[in-house]
Amino acid sequence: MAFVTRFAPSPTGPLHLGHAYSAILGFDMAMEEGGDWLLRIEDIDRSRARKEWEQSIFDDLEWLGLWWSEPVMRQSERGKEYQAALERLRGHELLFGCRCPRAHITSTLSAPQEGDPLVEGPDGPVYPGHCKPLRRDWSDHLWSPDYLNAPILRLDMAEATKLGEWRAMEGYVFEFRETGQGPNGEHGLIAFTADYLIRHIGDVVLARRGMGTSYHLSVVIDDAAQGVTEVVRGQDLFEATKIHVVLQHLLGLPTPVYHHHRLIRDDQGKRLAKRDDARAIQKYRSEGATPADIRRMVGL
């Protein structure tokens, strides 16, 4: 099978060294395998995404000496695909509407990051299930034609893990293949049970008012649509991969191989953040650094 990977930045700030590492690593792996390196702009959070940042991402990647196959995928153009997937999950009665105050729910528009406050599951505290009993009252209202104004939609994880082939197989173990490393050195075949998903991950948010999707839903649909065979990304997304595997099963999509890589950290050992302009590629460029210098700085 051809090797296809992707780089999927959100255009909400400058690319920094951490992005450069992820991009170059994925690119090098694709070239080594004679495969493809694709780009996807993860711009579902329209309040934060900016065209200017998108352009600066292209500029930086080109400057780094990377190239990609067209077309570039933009998540902001894929609402119909996300909606179709939600309809399918709703058809299996796996969704419920959540009315809990926004403050109690961590952001689900961007990928979860290391160091998010109160982290227990990959998206923050595992959802306690307040709104699940309201499911019936909400189900009609949720699917009014004014779809984008629906409240938050969550996946009923307990029901999701019972669906289809799993129902027949007690103790079914979900799995994916890891060719890199999780934060605790996880490598090889990564297996986890339904019970783990229910206790440690819970009823994750799949769509949010005004957005019609979430990071988890979009990433799974789009990796499949782009024919991605190997996902190369930071270790902070290792736990979230378990959500992605469940969604792939539910939506009948293939599970790619995953390659989670180490994170580039600042001098204090903290993961670089978008707002960390001090490590922006633009800044190194303006100071006269070469692409080879950037490779050296990230250890490639």
Q: Using an 8 Å Cβ cutoff, are 14 and 277 in contact?
A: yes
* 9 is a site residue for ligand GLU (CB under 6 A): yes
Q: CA 249, CA 252: separation in Å to the nearest integer?
A: 5
Measured CA distances, 153 to 45, 156, 162, 220, 294 (Å):
16, 9, 19, 17, 41
Applying the rule CB under 5 A, the residues between 47 and 76 that interact with Zn ion are: none
253 binds Zn ion (CB under 5 A): no
Q: Is the Cβ of residue 13 or residue 97 nearer to ligand GLU in the bound state?
A: 13
Which one among 237, 243, 263, 280 touches ligand GLU, defined by CB under 6 A?
237
- Write the interaction track for ligand GLU spanning residues 31-70; mark x where CB under 6 A is met and - where it is not: -----------x----------------------------
42 binds, among ligand GLU, Zn ion, none (CB under 5 to 8 A by kind): ligand GLU
Beta bridge pairs of residue 153:
97, 207
Task: Kindly state the smallest distance separating residue 125's Cβ from Zn ion, in Å.
Answer: 12
Q: How far is the CB of 129 from ligand GLU (least distance, A)?
A: 27
The mark string for 119-148 relative to Zn ion (x by CB under 5 A, - otherwise) is -----------xx-----------------
Give dist(CA 297, CA 290) in Å, integer: 11
Choose among ligand GLU, Zn ion, none what residue 244 binds, the Cβ cut-off being 5 to 8 Å by kind.
Answer: none
Binding-site member from 20, 25, 49, 111 for ligand GLU (CB under 6 A): 111
Question: Which of 4, 8, 109, 280 is in the footprint of ligand GLU by CB under 6 A?
Answer: 8
Rounded least distance, CB 237 to ligand GLU, Å: 6
Distance between CA atoms of residues 127 and 198, nearest Å:
10
- Concatenated DSSP letters for 127-143? P--TTGGGHHHHHHHHT
Give alpha helix (H) positions in 33-154: 51-63, 79-91, 135-142
Based on the shown chain and the rule CB under 5 A, indicate whether residue 98 belongs to the binding site for Zn ion.
yes
Q: Identify which of residues 8 and 24 has a Cβ nearer to ligand GLU in the complex.
A: 8
Pick from 29, 249, 299, 81: nearest CA to 7: 29
Tell me the β-bridge partners of 193. Answer: 173
Residue 100 binding: pick among Zn ion, ligand GLU, none (C-beta 5-8 Å cut-off by kind): Zn ion
Asked if 24 interacts with ligand GLU (CB under 6 A), we say no
Task: For the segment 261-300, give every residue that binds ligand GLU (CB under 6 A).
Answer: none
Beta-bridge partner residues of 233? 260
**8 Å CB contact between 48 and 12:** yes
DSSP state of 209: T
- Return the range that interacts with Zn ion (CB under 5 A); candidates 94-102, 161-169, 196-204, 213-221: 94-102
Establish if 100 lies at the interface with Zn ion (CB under 5 A): yes
Task: Please tell me whether residue 49 adopts helix, strand or coil conformation.
Answer: coil
- Rounded Cα gap, residues 24 and 168, in angstroms: 43
Please identify, using beta-carbon distances, which residue of 8 and 294 lies nearer to ligand GLU: 8
- C-alpha distances in angstroms, 215 versus 74, 144, 223? 13, 23, 12
> Are 256 and 179 spatial neighbours (Cβ–Cβ below 8 Å)?
no
- The interface partner of residue 73, options being ligand GLU, Zn ion, none and the CB cut-off 5 to 8 Å by kind, is none
Residues that bind Zn ion (CB under 5 A): 98, 100, 130-131
Residues that bind ligand GLU (CB under 6 A): 8-10, 42, 111, 219, 233, 237
